[in-house]
Amino acid sequence: MINLKNVTFKWHKSDSSPTLNIKGLVIEKGEHIFLHGPSGSGKSTLLAILAGINTATSGDVTLLNQTLNKLNNTKRDIFRADHIGIIFQNFNLLPYLSPLENVVLGCQFSKSRQQKALSQSATLNTEATQLLNALGLTEQNHNKNVAELSIGQQQRVAAARAFIGNPEIIIADEPTSALDTQNRESFINLLFKQANNSNSTLVFVSHDETLKPLFDRFIDLISLQEQV
Amino acid sequence: MILAKLAYKSLLNRRASVLLTLFTIAISVMLLLSIERVRIDAKSSFSNTISGTDLIVGARTGDIQLLLSSVFRIGHTNNGVSWKSYQYITSQRGVKWSIPISLGDSHKGQAVLGTTLDYFNHYRFAKKQNLTFNKGRPFAAINEVVLGSEVATKLGYKLGDNIVISHGMGNTSFHHHQDNPFKVVGVFNPTGTPVDKTLHIPLAAIDLIHGGKASLEHEHEHDEHNNLTGHPKQVTAFLMGFNSPLYMLQIRRNINQYKPEALLAIMPTVTLKELWEMLAIVEKTLLLFSFVVILISLLGMLTTLLANLNQRRRELAILRSVGARPWQLFTLISMESLLTTLLGCVVGCALFYSTLFLGADYLQSHAGISVNIAMLSRYELTLIGVIMAAGFIIGLIPATRAYFYSLSDGMSIKT
């Protein structure tokens, strides 16, 4: 599913040591991975490489049998749009779109996700509505101004946007750091439920180790990079 | 498609600053179009006012002053040309026709012009067009008047009405020539020249309304209905046409050196050009100003777009994360500036036409410029096109920055 082999990454060619150095990382389909790393451990870099926004300086990054570093920029952008859903830390909705429109946006840059969404519902809007309902955002909030939603509600919308059109991989970058403990757990459980529903692989990144017990598998980024 | 929708929603979301930008662009477009329209129409109004006249002769004054008073009814001359000199000069060899004109009286603020029947035959405007009648006929008796089209429509006169001429210019003249009412016998078609705002009466009547005896003396000799033979002691000016330009140059020299009276002969085409060149500096300054206004409004747009862009880096990162490619973000931002400029131009055109509708009458009555409320000319469309292109090019600057932001920021959310 996700396979990293001898991956290094340098921001600049002149950098003496790489920002990221991973000998091997394999993630199976449908796994819920907790990727832990304190700030500065190369978390954001790894995510950017997984999402195909940056390419590895050396080594191979293979997702769904596609070697990302062998694709050109446009193909990588299309690959991301088709197969990866991303949830950010906070405030990750477009302020000028309604919650519903924000969700639909998730499949508007990808034909294949649009088709998948339409194979499940008659219109993109119905699919988005169903997802929002499933993630616990009541319908009266679907067309509100985004700014009127609480952070927790905004994260649900962001999650729905990541899940629409059933992408194979969901990357969540510190999605719970703005939530309190109680909301954190319920949000993560919603993510699990939705990931199971759509059979997606979930890569959850955080510096907060207290979340560790909730996940199938725990990977520590620092020890991962120390492997020889 | 999705990009257009995003651009539209994003603009709507920032409507306060977008509206301000839009209005500065609209106002500058309106300014540029108005200045250009007035400039071009003023030029054609000017050069269309008189044609086919070789010389205008009046008492000695400035060339332009004589032209303004005799043709445009702007300002006035203190002196005239004596009837004797008029007769002498127009009897020279080579003179094809002449039209004496006498100005100085008015009717409800409209100029009254005393002239002869030659006016109807030889006066030409625009492209050597003769005056034509919308209704009626030339005057044939001393108490008949022919109206310019605007006089008739503005004051609501029709054939057969009796009107009273007052002495001097202006509505509030104390001395009304109550004893001598004139009967409307004809109305000209519109010409777009000062003729439209003029009442034409027989030259002989001018002296009569001023208490002269010119025509009374002759009254017993003539049929009452064909009595135009009187003449005043002097006329304000006269127009002349020649058989050949050679005669014209010679006679012009003679007039300018004429001993018995200080006279001036001008060639209207030459003086019109001089007058226009005098105004050219004003015209060019105005044009420069309106271009500067456009530049400022476009720079204002650039400032707003760049300032907003920094706040929108998060937005760009989100769009990247859902699969938008850098060139799509580039398109999104440049579409926003194009849309703003486009709307600015549309609103600007609307403002331009409302200004025209409101200002056309004023320009016509105060400056003698007949402004054409027509569709946008090819030239004006070109101007708008240039503004649109400039707006688009300026929009490429923030768009390029958005492109590189999206490359360098990647998915990490700044701010």
Residues B160 and B89: their CA atoms lie apart, in Å, by 37
Q: What is the pLDDT of residue B220?
A: 42
Hey, what long-range contacts does B356-360 have (CB within 8 A, 24 or more apart)?
Answer: B356/B34, B356/B37, B359/B34
- Which residue in A53, A89, A106 is closest to B322 by CB distance? A106
Chain A residues whose beta carbon lies within 8 Å of the beta carbon of residue B12: 96
Q: What is the pLDDT of residue B361?
A: 75
Alpha helices in B14-145, H assignment, sequence order: 15-48, 63-67, 83-90, 118-122
Sequence spans of domains, chain B: 2-46+280-409, 55-266
- Which residue in A77, A91, A96 is closest to B12 by CB distance? A96
Average pLDDT value over all residues in chain A? 87
Cα B19-B25-B28 angle, rounded to 5 deg: 140
Please state, for a pLDDT cut of 70, what percent of chain A lies above it: 98
Does the CB of A108 have a partner CB in chain B at under 8 Å?
yes
Contact B2 A109 (CB under 8 A): yes
Residues B403 and B406: their CA atoms lie apart, in Å, by 5
Please state, for a pLDDT cut of 90, what percent of chain A lies above it: 25
The CA-atom distances, in angstroms, between A190 and each of A35, A137, A185, B111, B350 are 18, 11, 9, 89, 54
Which structure tokens are listed for B114? Answer: 């005393």
Task: Provide, for chain A, the percentages of residues in helix, strand and coil under a 3-state DSSP scheme, each rounded to the nearest 5.
Answer: 45, 20, 35
What's the whole-model pTM score? 0.71
> Model confidence at B138, in pLDDT bands (50, 70, 90)?
very high
Residue A51 buriedness (CB in 10 A; 0-12 / 13-18 / 19+):
buried
Does the CB of B13 have a partner CB in chain A at under 8 Å?
yes
Contact A47 B411 (CB under 8 A): yes
Residues B123 and B111: their CA atoms lie apart, in Å, by 17
Residues B375 and B123: their CA atoms lie apart, in Å, by 31
Alpha helices in B49-117, H assignment, sequence order: 63-67, 83-90
ipTM of model: 0.86
For tokens 């054939």, name the residue: B159
What does the DSSP assignment read for A127-171? HHHHHHHHTT--GGGTTS-GGGS-HHHHHHHHHHHHHTT--SEEE
Chain B residues whose beta carbon lies within 8 Å of the beta carbon of residue A86: 321-322, 411
Q: What is the CATH number of domain A31-41+77-226?
A: 3.40.50.300
3-state SS assignment for residue B322: coil
Residue B217 has pLDDT above 50, yes or no: no
> Model confidence at B214, in pLDDT bands (50, 70, 90)?
very low
Residues B314 and B327: their CA atoms lie apart, in Å, by 17
Does the CB of A82 have a partner CB in chain B at under 8 Å?
yes
Chain A residues whose beta carbon lies within 8 Å of the beta carbon of residue B308: none
Q: What is the pLDDT of residue B216?
A: 40
Provide the b/e sequence for B47-73 (b: ≥16 CB within 10 Å): bbbbbbbbbbbbbebebebbbbbbbbb
In the predicted model, what is the mean pLDDT of residues B322-328?
88
Nearest-by-CA chain B residue for A76: B323
Residues 6+ apart with CB under 8 A from B120: B131, B138, B146
Contact A44 B412 (CB under 8 A): yes
Residue B415 buriedness (CB in 10 A; 0-12 / 13-18 / 19+):
exposed
Q: For an interface test with A, which of B315, B322, B409 has the most A Cβ atoms less than 10 Å from its Cβ? A: B322
pLDDT digits (tens, 9 = 90+) for A49-88: 888 888 888 889 999 988 988 888 888 889 999 999 988 8
Single-letter amino acid, residue A36: H
Contact A81 B412 (CB under 8 A): no
Element (H, E) at B218: helix B214-218
How many CB pairs lie under 8 A apart between chains A and B? 66
Residues B11 and B5: their CA atoms lie apart, in Å, by 10
Nearest-by-CA chain B residue for A109: B323
pLDDT digits (tens, 9 = 90+) for B263-317: 999 999 899 888 888 878 888 888 888 888 888 888 888 888 888 888 788 888 8
Q: Which of the pair, B208 or B344, is modelled with greater confidence? A: B344
Chain B residues whose beta carbon lies within 8 Å of the beta carbon of residue A96: 9-10, 12-13
CB atoms within 10 A of CB B158: 11
Q: What is the pLDDT of residue A210?
A: 86
Single-letter amino acid, residue B153: T
Residue B54 has pLDDT above 70, yes or no: yes
